[in-house]
């Protein structure tokens, strides 16, 4: 069962991690851009923040899931560290762009607050994980990385929840208002359960030890 969940999670992470490439392939507006005003789409700062957020967020999503494979991590420790640095660098840049575009979230201030808090949590837990690793506090590093990737995985859960909410409410504003919180709050709860159930002596090795 764990292997099946691992494969599903990895497949979703890779699929959504590659999703930003569509914004470079299509010349017409689609997806999120359809909800934005012409005035905002004429704002070059917003475009810079938007592309920074989706490109580096996609990279973080693509590489982050590999870090939780204990056998790979033990066998290729130097690669694990290199990929970890790529992940941290990508999160910081994506978070910088995401923090800016959160102010212009579709649906108003409540949605902006939801995405803004997600952005803060993502950047904070990632930075904590990085500094813990440098200070050789491996247990805390592992826990913070679980929270960090749970926040990162909001990019996946948003795209899973939004179509469902659209079917239920048939209103983009209502659906987007809910998903601004639903895409990440349950993820953090799962991260909490994972870290709570991992014995301290095993946390430094793998999430796979969760019973």
Tell me phi and psi for residue 210, to 5 degrees.
-65, 135
SS3 43: coil
How much is the pLDDT for 111?
95
Length of the chain as a residue count: 211
| Chain centroid to CA 36 | 22
The pLDDT value given to residue 188: 97
- Determine contact, residues 53/152, Cβ cutoff 8 Å: no
Q: Determine the Cα–Cα distance for residues 93 and 170; give it in Å rounded to an integer.
A: 34
Q: Work out the average pLDDT over 100-122.
A: 95
Residue 37 DSSP class:
-
Query: What is the rounded distance in angstroms from the CA atom of residue 99 to the CA atom of residue 11?
Result: 27
Report the SS3 class of residue 110: helix
Which tokens hold the place of 144? 């913070």
Q: pLDDT, tens digit, for every residue of 132-165?
A: 999 999 889 999 999 999 999 999 999 999 999 9
The answer to whether the CB of 204 falls within 8 A of the CB of 143 is no
Rounded mean pLDDT of the chain? Answer: 88
Residue among 153, 145, 159 at smallest CA distance from 13: 153
Q: What percent of the chain has pLDDT over 90?
A: 60
pLDDT for 209: 38
Rounded to an integer, what distance in angstroms lies between the CA atom of residue 145 and that of residue 84?
10
- The arithmetic mean of pLDDT across residues 73-99, rounded, is 93
Identify which has the larger pLDDT, 37 or 57.
57
User: pLDDT tens-digit profile of 7-50?
Assistant: 888 889 888 888 888 888 776 676 778 888 889 989 999 999 99
pTM: 0.87
What residues does each domain of the chain span?
A: 41-197
What is the predicted pLDDT for the residue at 69? 76
CB-CB contact of 167 with 115 (8 Å) = no
64-73: pLDDT as tens digits: 988 887 778 7
């Amino acid at each position: 069962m764990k292997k099946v969940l691992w494969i599903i999670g990895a497949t979703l992470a890779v699929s959504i991690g590659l999703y930003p490439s569509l914004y470079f392939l299509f010349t017409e507006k689609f997806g999120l851009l359809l909800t934005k005003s012409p005035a905002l789409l004429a704002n070059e700062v917003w475009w810079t923040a938007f592309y920074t957020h989706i490109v580096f967020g996609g990279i973080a999503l693509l590489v982050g899931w590999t870090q939780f494979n204990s056998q790979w991590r033990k066998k290729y420790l130097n690669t694990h560290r290199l990929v970890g640095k790529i992940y941290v660098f990508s999160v910081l840049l994506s978070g910088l762009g995401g923090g800016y575009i959160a102010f212009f979230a579709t649906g108003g201030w409540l949605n902006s607050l939801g995405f803004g808090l997600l952005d803060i949590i993502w950047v904070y837990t990632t930075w904590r994980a990085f500094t813990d690793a440098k200070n050789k506090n491996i247990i805390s590093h592992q826990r913070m990385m679980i929270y960090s990737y749970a926040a990162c995985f909001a990019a996946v859960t948003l795209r899973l929840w939004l179509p469902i909410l659209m079917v239920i409410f048939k209103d983009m504003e209502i659906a987007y208002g809910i998903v601004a919180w639903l895409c990440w709050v349950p993820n953090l709860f799962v991260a909490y359960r994972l870290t709570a159930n991992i014995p301290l002596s095993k946390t430094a090795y793998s999430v796979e030890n969760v019973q």
